[in-house]
Structure 1
Amino acid sequence: MKKSLVKLFSRRAGHWLFAFLIINGMAAGTVHAQTPAARPPSATAAPAPVAGDEDMPSLKVGDPAPPLTVEKWIKGKPVSKFVPGHIYVIEFWATWCGPCRAVMPHLSEMAARYKDKVTIIGFNVLEISAGKNKSGDYVTKVANFVKNLGDGMDYTVAADVREETTYKEWMTAAGMGGIPSSFIVDGNGKIAWWGHPMVLEDALELVMDGQMTPTKRMSLWQEFKAKNEKRMALAEQMQQLKKAGDNAKALQLADQLIAETIMGKSPFVIAKYELLKSTDPAKAKAYGNEILKTFANDPLTLQDVARTIINNEDAADKALALGIMEQAIQRCAPDDPFAYSTLAGIYFKNGDHKKAVSTQQYVVKLLEDTSLVEQRQEIKDKAREDLAKYKAGK
Structure 2
Amino acid sequence: MKVKPKIIVYIGVIISILTQTYGQDTTLSVGDKAPTLIIQKWLKGTPIKKFEKDKIYLVEFTAFFCPGCHLAIPHLTELAMEFKEEIQVVSIYTGESNTKDSTDVNYIERIERLVKRKGSGMEFTVGIDDYKQTTKKKWGVYAYPTAFIVNRSGKIIWIGNPNHLESDVLKQVVSDKFNTDEELSQGNKYTEHLDNILKIEKKGDYLTALKGIDSLIAAYPQRSELYEYKFRILARNNDERANILLQWMLNSNENYNWTGLREDAYLLSKYPDYGLALRIADIVIENVAYDVESKVNALNAKARIYLYKSYGGGNLEEEKRGIKKAIDIWQEVLELCNSNGILVDKAKEFKDLIYRYQYKMIVKTNEEEAETLVQQMLKDKLEYINWYYLLDDVLQLPTQPNYDLALQVADMAIITSPIEAMVLSSKKKKADIYATKGDLERALTTYREVVISSEKSKNQNLIKRYKKALMEFKRKFELEENNK
TM-score class, shorter: 0.5 to 0.7
Distance of 2:170 and 2:20 partners within structure 1: 23
Aligned residue runs from structure 1 range 206-285, under 5 A = 207-208=173-174, 210=176, 224-235=187-198, 243=207, 249=211, 252-253=214-215, 255-256=217-218, 259=221, 261=223, 266-271=228-233, 278=240
Does structure 2 retain, via aligned residues, the 8 Å contact 1:65–1:185? no
Partner amino acid, structure 1, of 2:105: G
Distance of 2:116 and 2:218 partners within structure 1: 32
**Structure 2 partner of 1:159:** 127
Aligned residue runs from structure 1 range 347-366, under 5 A = 347-350=306-309, 351-360=321-330, 362=333
RMSD across aligned C-alpha pairs, in angstroms? 5.6
User: What TM-score, normalized by structure 2, do the two folds share?
Assistant: 0.48
Q: Among the aligned pairs, what percent are the same residue?
A: 12
**Structure 1 partner of 2:68:** 102
1:330 aligns to 2:290 (yes or no):
no
> Which 5+ residue runs of structure 2 have no aligned equivalent?
1-9, 310-320, 362-484
Per-residue CA deviation, residues 201-240 of structure 1 (Å, 9 max, x unaligned), is 5996885454789xx68x9777644421211234456797
Does structure 2 retain, via aligned residues, the 8 Å contact 1:347–1:356? yes
- Larger RCO (CA within 8 A; separation ≥ 6): 1
Provide closer, same or farther for how the CA distance between residues 89 and 30 of structure 1 changes in structure 2, counting only shifts above 3 A.
farther
Partner amino acid, structure 2, of 1:356: A
- 1:309 pairs with one of 248, 259, 265: 265
Cα distance, 1:391 vs structure 2? 3.1
Per-residue CA deviation, residues 264-292 of structure 1 (Å, 9 max, x unaligned), is 853324556899983698x658515415x
Count of residues in correspondence between the two structures: 322
Does structure 2 retain, via aligned residues, the 8 Å contact 1:340–1:363? no
Partner amino acid, structure 2, of 1:184: I
1:136 aligns to 2:105 (yes or no):
yes
Does structure 1 retain, via aligned residues, the 8 Å contact 2:197–2:213? no
Provide closer, same or farther for how the CA distance between residues 241 and 254 of structure 1 changes in structure 2, counting only shifts above 3 A.
farther
Provide closer, same or farther for how the CA distance between residues 164 and 251 of structure 1 changes in structure 2, counting only shifts above 3 A.
closer
Distance of 1:177 and 1:279 partners within structure 2: 36
Partner amino acid, structure 2, of 1:345: R
If you compute each CA radius of gyration, which structure gives the higher value, 1 or 2?
A: 2
Cα distance, 1:95 vs structure 2? 1.6
1:344 aligns to 2:344 (yes or no):
no
1:72 aligns to 2:28 (yes or no):
no
Secondary structure of 2:155's aligned partner: strand
**Structure 2 partner of 1:318:** 274
Provide closer, same or farther for how the CA distance between residues 206 and 288 of structure 1 changes in structure 2, counting only shifts above 3 A.
closer
Distance of 1:285 and 1:261 partners within structure 2: 15
Partner amino acid, structure 2, of 1:160: I
Distance of 1:46 and 1:309 partners within structure 2: 32
Distance of 1:253 and 1:144 partners within structure 2: 43
**Structure 2 partner of 1:390:** 357
User: What TM-score, normalized by structure 1, do the two folds share?
Assistant: 0.56
